[in-house]
Amino acid sequence: MIPVAEQWLTFLSDFGFEDAFLGVCKGVIARIAPQVRVLDVLHLVAAQDVAQGASVLASAIGYLPSPAVHLAVVDPFRASPVRGVAVRTADGSTFVSPDNGLTSQAWAAAGGASEAVALDNVSLWLPKPARTFRGRDVFAPVAARLAAGLALAEVGNPVPLEQLERLPVRPPTVDDDHVHGEVVQVDHFGNLTLNCCRADLEAAGMALGDTVELRCGGRSLAVPFAVTYGEVSPGRLAVCEDSFRTITLAVNQGSAARSLRAGRGQPMVIARRRGPAGG
């Protein structure tokens, strides 16, 4: 019997809930390894949006079981599909995914990659795998077997770590009195997560309680830099630090995405400013 901590399998995908895609993948896992516990991270990653999936998994990884097998499937279809890989990390976890950078930010956060293999042992796949559904036929069965205790070496041939695809994280630019960033996530509530943290704003001379200038889409707004969006009145926009310690734009009882007409990739500038809050 393997330790309980190693029987966790987390799952992130762009499969959604409107079809049976997710259900059959979890069914494959249950048939192969019924003792393994599956924890759903997110299945509403925008279709084929590898960058969004990477960002979400990286932000979540510090709160997921460790060690665990982390299955992630966002696999844009290509004439020649990218290889599947299993990457072992310093914390003892294993990431199973396409080799398209989807899990690279997360395994970096888990201590970095220490070993990797290709998913080329076809005896572990489902029979007659479909080219258009590797999540069900390749990734899910391999992840299930790893979570049930299969040795990594049994999965396939070694892959040199330097050959793994990595999705770079674009850092913010901190200038004398302002920070250039961008939206990296839009959550269910319409909050906009930026690729910067409180220390970046402080390095540009901004502190909690200040009024800062937000430049977005050709507009300039005076916005409070608050501990939480609950400190501003309903309908008002705030710059705050979210639960993952990243800077977020949020509207109390509203949607910053709708208010600012902004989405992922939208450039944002937060600058030092004097005067009463507005926006």
Residue 5 has pLDDT above 50, yes or no: no
Contact 134, 78 (CB under 8 A): no
- Which among 96, 98, 97, 91 has a CA at the least distance from the CA of 112? 91
| Distance separating alpha carbons of residues 22 and 42, to the nearest angstrom | 11
pLDDT band at 274 (very low <50, low <70, confident <90, very high): low
- Which among 57, 62, 138 has a CA at the least distance from the CA of 101? 57
Q: What residue spans of the chain are helical by DSSP H? A: 21-32, 50-60, 104-109, 134, 140-147, 198-203, 256-260
What is the predicted pLDDT for the residue at 236? Answer: 96
Mean pLDDT, residues 109-132: 95
Between CA 133 and CA 170, with CA 94 as vertex, the angle to 5 degrees is 85
Separate counts of helices (H) and strands (E) for the chain: 7, 14
Rounded percentage of the chain residues whose pLDDT exceeds 90: 88
Collapsed DSSP state (helix, strand, coil) of residue 218: coil
Residue 266 has pLDDT above 50, yes or no: yes
What is the predicted pLDDT for the residue at 2? Answer: 42
pLDDT band at 170 (very low <50, low <70, confident <90, very high): confident
pLDDT band at 273 (very low <50, low <70, confident <90, very high): confident
pLDDT top residue among 20 and 169: 20
**pLDDT, tens digit (0-9, with 9 covering 90-100), for 13-30:** 999 999 999 999 999 999
pLDDT band at 78 (very low <50, low <70, confident <90, very high): confident
- Which among 271, 259, 255, 175 has a CA at the least distance from the CA of 217? 259
Q: What is the pTM of this model?
A: 0.85
Mean pLDDT, residues 85-91: 97
Taking every pair of Cα atoms in the chain, the longest distance, rounded to a whole number of angstroms, is 67
Residues whose CB falls within 8 Å of the CB of residue 200, separated by 6 or more in sequence, listed in order: 172, 174, 179, 181, 247
> Could you tell me what percentage of the chain is helix, strand and coil, using 3-state DSSP and rounding each to the nearest 5?
25, 30, 45
The amino acid sitting at 250 is A
What is the predicted pLDDT for the residue at 277? Answer: 43
pLDDT top residue among 261 and 2: 261
Q: What residues pair up with 224 in beta bridges, in sequence order?
A: 211
Residue 80 has pLDDT above 90, yes or no: no
| Distance separating alpha carbons of residues 163 and 113, to the nearest angstrom | 12
What is the predicted pLDDT for the residue at 237? Answer: 97
